[in-house]
Structure 1
Amino acid sequence: MKPMPLARVVSSCFAFAWLSIASPAFADDVSFGASQLCGLQSARPDRNAAVQVKTVQGRNGPIGYARFGQGTPLLLITGYRATLGEWNAYFLGALAKHHEVIVFDNRGVGRSTPMAGHYGPGYGIRDMAADAADVIAGLKLARVDVVGWSMGGMIAQQLALDAREKVESLTLIATAPPGPEAVPLTPEVQQVLSSSGADAFPKIMAVLFPADAVADASKCFVGDMFAPRGYKGRPVPDAVADQQNRAMSQWFADSAAADRLRRSPVRTLIIAGANDDVLADANARHLEQMIPRATLDVVADAGHALMFQYPIELAGHIQAFVRYIR
C-alpha cells in the first residue's frame, strides 16, 4: 500500500482509511519543494546543553550515542565514513518533536571504539547490525522504529532480519538492497567519498547533492551538522573506512540476505532521491520489489543527502509513516 506524498495528503483517519483500501503498490513521485539547506530557524537539539554523547557497552566495546526528544523511540543508523554528527541537526530536531531520537556511532567511528582484532574479514554489515541491536538492548528499549541512511540503510535491513522482535518499522533512505540485483557505487564516486584533504569537500558536495543545490550545500552543510557539546567524531580512521568498503562489497554479493528480505514482515518506507549520484534510485525500486510490505517514494530534485536538502519535509514524511503504521 502506498501513502500518498506528504504534500498531497493530510494525516487524517479518513486519508489513512482510504490508503488501506488503495490499489496495489507503486512508486510515488514526491516533491518537497524548495531545498531547505540554508536559513532554517527551527529547533535543533544540539543547542540544548543537556544533549550529550554518552556510551553504552556493546559486545564489541563502547558505543557512542545521543538520546533526546519525547515519544516512541526512533533509532537512526548513519552511513559510510559518517559519525553521529553527520546527521542534520534540524532534521533531528523535527523528529524529536514526536519521538525519542537515538543516534549512535557505527563501529570504529567517533566514540564507538572496537576491541582489538575487529577490523578483520569478519567485520561486515551483520556485525554492525549486531552493534545496533546492542544499543537497543543497552538502552533497555523494547521495540524501535528504525531509520537507516545509505550504508546505514543496509545495516537497518540486516537488523530487521536478525532482531525482528526489536524492529517496529523500517525507513530506508538512499540505500541499496543486498545481493546481485543492487547497483553498487561506481569506482569514481567511491573514490570521491573516500577522499580527504583541502580539495575533497567540494567534490563530496557535488556527489551528495543535485547541481542546483551544491552552492547552498557548500555554504551551510557543516554548520547544519549535529554538534552536541564536547563531541568530536572526526577523523574516521582509514582502517574503518576500508572495512566499511569491504562490508558494502560483501552486502552487494549477499544473496542469502536478499532471500530472507523477500520474506520480511516489517513495514518499510523506502525514500530515494531522483538525482542520487551515489546509490541510484534503481536500488530503491529493487528494494520495493523485494520487501513484501514496502512503500517507495522517489523525491524529485533530491540527491543522496536528503536529510540535509529537505530536513523538515523529510522528517515530516517519516513521522507520517510511523504514525500511520502504529
Structure 2
Amino acid sequence: MKTMKLIFACLCIALMCGAWPAQADDIAFAKSGICGLDAPRPERDAALRQQVVPGRNGPIAYYRFGRGTPVVLITGYRASIAEWDAFFLGELAQHHEVIVFDNRGVGGSSPLPGRYGVEYGMRDMADDAADVISHLGLRRVTVVGWSMGGMIAQQLALGPASARLERLVLISTAAPGAQGVPLRREVGEVLSSHGPDAFARIMGVLFPPDAVEDAKRCFGGDMFRPSGYRATPVSDDVSAQQNRAIQRWFTNDDAARALGKLAVPTLVVTGAQDDVLSVENSRTLARIIAPARLAIVADAGHALMFQYPLELGKMVSEFAPR
C-alpha cells in the first residue's frame, strides 16, 4: 500500500508540474479493483435520470452528475455508457461534473428518420460530441475518450469544439494514419462476436490473463447501470458503421499531421498488456502531440478502468482543471 501511494504521489506531482518524460516508465498499481469495491457509485442516486440533447443527427442520450469543472467521456466500439466502470465515474464525480453519453445508434441516441444506413465516420461522431458540449454550454472541458472513443476525442480536438477544451485524455486508443497500429483481425472478430461464449471471449481480450477470471465474475456488477437505463443490443448496422470508421482512421494521415499542431494539454494512458490496441499507439500519440504526457500502466489491459477504477479516476481528476 505504501508503495502504491508513493507511486501515485509521484504521478500527481508529474501531472501538476508538467514533469513528464516523452516515454514514461510503467506505472504499477498494487491491486486490481475488479470485484467488491466499497466506493461511491453515481447511479445509486435515485434522482439520476437520462436526458437528451437534440443533436444535428438526432437525439443524443446522456447522464450528468457530480460537481466541478466538466469531464465529458466518449466510449468505444459497440459500447454503451454501461461499459464505463461505475467506481471510475464515481471517483471522477468527487471533484468534477461528469457527462456520459451514448454514441449514435446506441441506447437512446438515434439518428434522425432516414439517417439509418447513411455512412459516417469519426468526424461525424465528433460532431455529436460537440453537440453535447455546445448544448450544455460547457466550458473548460476535459474530454476523455476510451478506445474508439479516443479516436473520436482526437477528431473533436481538431475541430471548432477545441475552443471549449482545456484538457484531453486518451485511454487505450490508437494514433491515426499510417503511424497507427490497427487491431488484429482475430481480435476484431472477438469484439464483434455473438452467442453464449462471446462474453468470456471478449473478457479474454479486454483483460490480461491474471485478471480474466475476476472480470468474468464481476465486470457486469461493476458497470454503470442507472435506474431505467436500457442498454439495448447494438445493431449489426451500427457495428459495421463503427468498424468501417475505425478502419478509415488508420488511413487518416491528415489527422496525424493536424495532431502535431494540437495545443490542448493531453494525457495518454494505456495498459502495458493491451491486446486490442497496441501500446505502440500510445507511444506514437505521445510523440505526435507536443504537449502530451504518457502513462503506461503495468499489468493492465484494454479495459484498464475496470482493473484500476479508483487509481485511473484519481489520475484523470488530477489532470483535469479544478
TM-score class, shorter-chain normalisation, is over 0.9
What is aligned with 1:183? 181
1:88 is aligned with what amino acid?
A: D
- For residues 17 and 310 of structure 1, what CA distance do their matches in structure 2 show? 18
1:82 is aligned with what amino acid?
A: A
Offset at residue 19 of structure 1 (A): 3.8
Offset at residue 233 of structure 1 (A): 1.7
- For residues 311 and 231 of structure 2, what CA distance do their matches in structure 1 show? 27
The alignment's TM-score, normalised by the length of structure 1, stands at 0.93
- For residues 221 and 53 of structure 1, what CA distance do their matches in structure 2 show? 22
2:176 is aligned with what amino acid?
A: P
What is aligned with 1:155? 152
- For residues 55 and 6 of structure 1, what CA distance do their matches in structure 2 show? 40
- Residue-pair matches, total: 318
- For residues 23 and 12 of structure 1, what CA distance do their matches in structure 2 show? 9
| CA contact 1:147–1:171 (8 Å) conserved in 2 | yes
Match of 1:169 among 167, 192, 216: 167
2:115 is aligned with what amino acid?
A: H
Deviations 1:7-50 (A, max 9, x none): 4253899x469944x58533231012211101101110111111
Match of 2:55 among 46, 54, 58: 58
1:92 partnered with 2:94: no
Offset at residue 119 of structure 1 (A): 4.5
1:10 partnered with 2:42: no
- For residues 32 and 52 of structure 1, what CA distance do their matches in structure 2 show? 34
Distance 1:23 1:297, change over 3 A: closer
2:198 is aligned with what amino acid?
A: A
1:31 partnered with 2:28: yes
2:256 is aligned with what amino acid?
A: A
- For residues 153 and 248 of structure 2, what CA distance do their matches in structure 1 show? 16
- For residues 18 and 310 of structure 1, what CA distance do their matches in structure 2 show? 21
2:99 is aligned with what amino acid?
A: I
| CA contact 2:268–2:292 (8 Å) conserved in 1 | yes
Task: Extract unaligned runs of 5+ from structure 1.
Answer: none
Distance 1:23 1:131, change over 3 A: closer
1:205 partnered with 2:221: no
| CA contact 2:69–2:140 (8 Å) conserved in 1 | no
Offset at residue 116 of structure 1 (A): 3.5
- For residues 198 and 69 of structure 2, what CA distance do their matches in structure 1 show? 38
1:178 is aligned with what amino acid?
A: P
Offset at residue 321 of structure 1 (A): 1.6
Q: Structure 1 residues 24-33 or 151-160, which shifts more? A: 24-33
| CA contact 1:11–1:320 (8 Å) conserved in 2 | no
| CA contact 2:74–2:101 (8 Å) conserved in 1 | yes
Offset at residue 311 of structure 1 (A): 0.5
1:111 partnered with 2:118: no
Give the alignment's Cα RMSD to 1 decimal. 1.9
What is aligned with 1:282? 280
Offset at residue 139 of structure 1 (A): 1.1
Deviations 1:246-300 (A, max 9, x none): 0001111001111100110010000010000000101001101110100001000
2:133 is aligned with what amino acid?
A: I
2:38 is aligned with what amino acid?
A: Q
Distance 1:291 1:17, change over 3 A: closer
Offset at residue 142 of structure 1 (A): 2.4
What is aligned with 1:232? 230
- For residues 11 and 203 of structure 1, what CA distance do their matches in structure 2 show? 36
Distance 1:225 1:18, change over 3 A: closer
Secondary structure of the 1:180 match is helix
Deviations 1:85-116 (A, max 9, x none): 11011110010000000000001100001013
- For residues 73 and 107 of structure 1, what CA distance do their matches in structure 2 show? 21
Distance 1:211 1:110, change over 3 A: same
The alignment's TM-score, normalised by the length of structure 2, stands at 0.94
Distance 1:92 1:167, change over 3 A: same
Secondary structure of the 1:10 match is helix
| CA contact 2:173–2:281 (8 Å) conserved in 1 | yes
Secondary structure of the 2:178 match is coil
Task: Extract unaligned runs of 5+ from structure 2.
Answer: none
What is aligned with 1:268? 266
Distance 1:6 1:239, change over 3 A: farther
| CA contact 2:33–2:309 (8 Å) conserved in 1 | yes
- For residues 7 and 149 of structure 1, what CA distance do their matches in structure 2 show? 27
1:69 partnered with 2:61: no
Offset at residue 6 of structure 1 (A): 7.2
- For residues 218 and 17 of structure 1, what CA distance do their matches in structure 2 show? 33
| CA contact 1:68–1:102 (8 Å) conserved in 2 | yes
Distance 1:243 1:26, change over 3 A: same
- For residues 201 and 35 of structure 2, what CA distance do their matches in structure 1 show? 19
- For residues 46 and 146 of structure 1, what CA distance do their matches in structure 2 show? 21
Offset at residue 143 of structure 1 (A): 3.2
What is aligned with 1:48? 45
Distance 1:9 1:187, change over 3 A: closer
